[in-house]
Amino acid sequence: MAIVGCLTAAAAGLVIGPVLRLLVVRLAVPSGEPWRRACPACDSPLRPARAALPVLSPAGRCIACQTRLGPPPLSVEVTAVVLLGLLAARVQPGLVLTAVCWLAVCVIPLAYIDAATHRLPDLLTGPAYAGTAAFLLAAAATGESWPRLGRGLLGGIAFAAFCLVLFLISPSGMGPGDVKLAASLGTALAWLGWGALIAGALAGFLLAACYGVTLLVRGRADRKTQVPFGPFMIAGTFLVLVIAGVG
């Protein structure tokens, strides 16, 4: 049954992967600009009038001019397949798995968008928190895990408050989107335990530090270069969730 669950979750990731890629393409625009509605190369609409037509090819290219749109081919799709499959193998019961899978589906495009534009749109950070909290509420109600729910909500608030302090101290190192993202990531981690929350937060900071040092050593950045923090927060969170497992 565990194998069937993993395969089902991976298949779901394969199906939803193209939708996540489209979200990345549409939302990965500089702050203040409207969502992208057409291919930047040929101006073909990303949402054709005929719904039966695909908006992107399987390789993530514009159907009309074959310009690659968004991240490298299959990167978003493979990320969704692998992450959802791993979560299905490590997380239970069903409603808790649904909560972290919902969070994963929301934050996968956020990671790619932040890497490209250094911003985390509210269109995804809001649903990420609301859906995660709602599914964990349902899990607490059916499994009588109210202490876990309380700890999860407090953990989300605590992580967001911590990131808010860092943002106020150094706005160049962390943005308001990171603060909002921290609420949903912290909620999922703290459901598992306070130790998991601390480990996930530290993992994100360590991954970001290692990446920054690597850029400095290779001469591709200096001390003033801004590094998007969202992808590392996300990676640290799911690294802990997958390794530790949630039950």
Give the end of a domain, one of 38, 67, 90: 90
Is the four-CA dihedral 186, 192, 198, 203 of positive or negative sign? negative
Q: What is the pTM of this model?
A: 0.92
Per the structure, the count of domains in the chain is 2
The CA R_g of the chain, rounded to the nearest whole Å, is 18
The verdict on 100 and 78 lying in the same domain is no
Domain that holds residue 68: 1-90
Give the end of a domain, one of 71, 90, 109: 90
What are 64's two structure tokens?
A: 């009309």
Length reported for the chain: 247
The verdict on 112 and 25 lying in the same domain is no
List per-residue pLDDT tens for the chain, 247 residues long.
Answer: 578 878 888 899 989 998 899 899 999 998 888 888 888 888 888 765 554 445 677 677 887 788 888 888 889 999 999 999 999 999 988 899 999 999 999 999 999 999 999 999 999 999 999 999 999 999 999 987 899 999 999 999 999 999 999 999 988 888 999 999 999 999 999 999 999 999 999 999 999 999 988 888 888 777 777 889 999 999 999 999 999 887 6
The verdict on 84 and 196 lying in the same domain is no
Give the end of a domain, one of 35, 60, 90: 90
The verdict on 105 and 216 lying in the same domain is yes
For residues 178 and 225, what is the distance between their CA atoms, to the nearest angstrom?
17
Cis previous bond, 93, omega within 30: yes
The verdict on 246 and 166 lying in the same domain is yes
The verdict on 162 and 215 lying in the same domain is yes
CB-CB contact of 160 with 132 (8 Å): no
